[in-house]
Structure formats: C-alpha cells, structure tokens
Amino acid sequence: MAVARHESGPFATVSALASQVHPVFMLPPLATSLFGGLLSGGFWPPVAALHAGAMFFAVYTAHVKDGYVDFHVRGEDDDHPLTASGCRMALVGAGVGFALCTAAIWLLVGAGAALLTLPTWVIGYTHAPQLDMNPVGATMGYPSGIALALLGGYYAQVTTLTPRALGLAAVFLLLLTGIKIIDDEQDYDYDRSIQKRTVAVVLGHQRARRLAFGLFGAGLLGIVGLSVALPGVPPSAAAAALVFGTVAAIAQRGDPETATMLLIRGSYLLLAVLVTAVWFRPLA
C-alpha cells in the first residue's frame, strides 16, 4: 500500500506522514494543555504528557482529514503528499494513538478526565467535511479544541474545574475565534465560489473584521477581570491583555494575511505571559 504520492521507500513514507504536522497549529493545543495542568497547581508530568499526547493525535487527525477531503474528495487543493490510502492509514494510526493516551488517562485519573479529552478528537475528525462548511463550525472548531485542551489538561491534574479554568478557557475561545475570522478573510473569494459559509462570506469583510475585534476586546477584558476578581489568577496575568492588545492594534489595519500572522504570534506571546504569571507569580 503506497503512502506517499510522489516517491516510494521508507524515507518518503515518513516524510509524507510528517508533513501533516503543522507546527503553527500543532504547538498551541499542546502548550495550552500543559498550561492547563500548570494552572491547576497539581502538575503531575506523566498525566500532563499523556494529555498533551492526546492533543497531538487529535490535531494530527484534523490535519490529515482536512487534507484528505480537500484534495482527494473535493479536489480543492493542487497537491497533497499522502495517497488516499495513506491518509486512511494515518487516520487509523492517529486514532489508535489518541485512544491509547485517553485510556491511560482513564486508568490514572478517571473516566471524567477521559470524557473531557474525547471531544477534541471528535472535533478534529469531523472538521472536514462536516464542520467546515458552516460559519460556526468553520470558525469555532479549532478555538473550541484549544479551550478543551486547557480544561482537559486542568481536570486531568485535579479532577475538577474551577472558575479560573473556565474563565481562561473562555478567553482563549474568544481570542482564537477572532483570529480565525480574520484568517478566513484570506480565502473569501474561493470560499464564496464553493458556497463555504465562513463568517467573512456571511457578513462581508468589514462586519467580519469588526466582529473579530469585538471578540478581542471581550477576551482582553476577561483577562483583566479574572486577574482582579479571582485569587487563582495572579494580577500579573493582566499584562497578557496589554501584550495581545498592542499586537491587535498594530494588526487592525493590516491585510488578512499580515493581520493573521501578527495575531497568531500575539497569541503565542499572550500564552507565554500567562505561563510566566502563573509559574512565577511576580506580583503575588
């Protein structure tokens, strides 16, 4: 069974499978999972590693399925490194990896932690072709996965969810949804031509951009509010709002590609500031 479309041999197979690991989209769920464990105050590395592993396989599933549908089913993409059978093999492998990580979490922590982990794979597997053709699914699939990564990483450590975990998960959901709205502006013409109803297609460029920045504002206010109202969120976490807000202000007038690039990097900075605030608590 051929796995790689363009070459043959073990190296070509490994290279084709590895091509579906997209660091820009892969690193945030893993980092957010670990951040959730850190935020809980009960960080146990084996469980944290298992949950991060499950997030890896969930996102890998999304990447493979998306590429399979876009190239082999819809014919939208010009090329893809995996054959159709290679995609199916990768999906089975990722599914097995996710199942093993989730089963281990169940054994070490409990059924609740496993059940909170499971939806991330469901989102990844159904992103294409089920979720990506309507505004809610296309826009909020990945942000929802990030929010669940934080909640799952947190719950796996302490078997409970607190207002700070729920609040920060909501913040990530708002901010990343805004970024996805702007990211989808890049494909406006093509998405409209195939009747793919992203937020940009439904609302138009200007209203979609206003909605995105409204979500940014709500998310940043949420960070400040959590840092003031909840003892579990250190006051220094408010600096994350300042950092991301500065990047968003710069990105506001940029074209969709430039704005998306800046905002994604701004989200990395936001997470880095939050991790620093929770780990070191400089103002505590």
- The secondary structure of the chain, three-state, reads CCCECCCCCHHHHHHHHHCCCCHHHHHHHHHHHHHHHHHHCCCCHHHHHHHHHHHHHHHHHHHHHHHHHHHHHCCCCCCCCECHHHHHHHHHHHHHHHHHHHHHHHHHCCHHHHHHHHHHHHHHHHHHHHHCCCHHHHHHHHHHHHHHHHHHHHHHHHCCCCHHHHHHHHHHHHHHHHHHHHHHHHHHHHHHHCCCCCHHHHHCHHHHHHHHHHHHHHHHHHHHHHHHHCCCCCHHHHHHHHHHHHHHHHHCCCCHHHHHHHHHHHHHHHHHHHHHHHHHCCCC
pLDDT in tens, the chain (284 residues): 789 898 888 999 999 999 999 998 899 999 999 999 999 988 999 999 999 999 999 999 999 999 999 899 888 778 999 999 999 999 999 999 999 999 999 999 999 999 999 999 999 999 888 888 888 888 999 999 999 999 999 999 999 999 999 999 999 999 999 999 999 999 888 888 878 889 999 999 899 999 999 999 999 999 999 999 988 788 999 999 999 999 999 999 899 999 999 999 999 999 999 999 988 765 44
φ/ψ of residue 242, rounded to 5:
-65, -45
Q: How far is CA 223 from the centre of its chain?
A: 19
Q: What pLDDT score was predicted for residue 282? A: 56
CA 164-260-16 angle, to 5 degrees, is 95
Predicted TM-score (pTM) of the model is 0.93
Q: Domains (ranges, CATH) in the chain?
A: 15-161 (1.10.357.140), 162-283 (1.20.120)
Beta-carbon neighbour count of residue 215 at 10 Å? 20
What span, in angstroms and rounded, lies between the C-alpha atoms of 96 and 260? 33
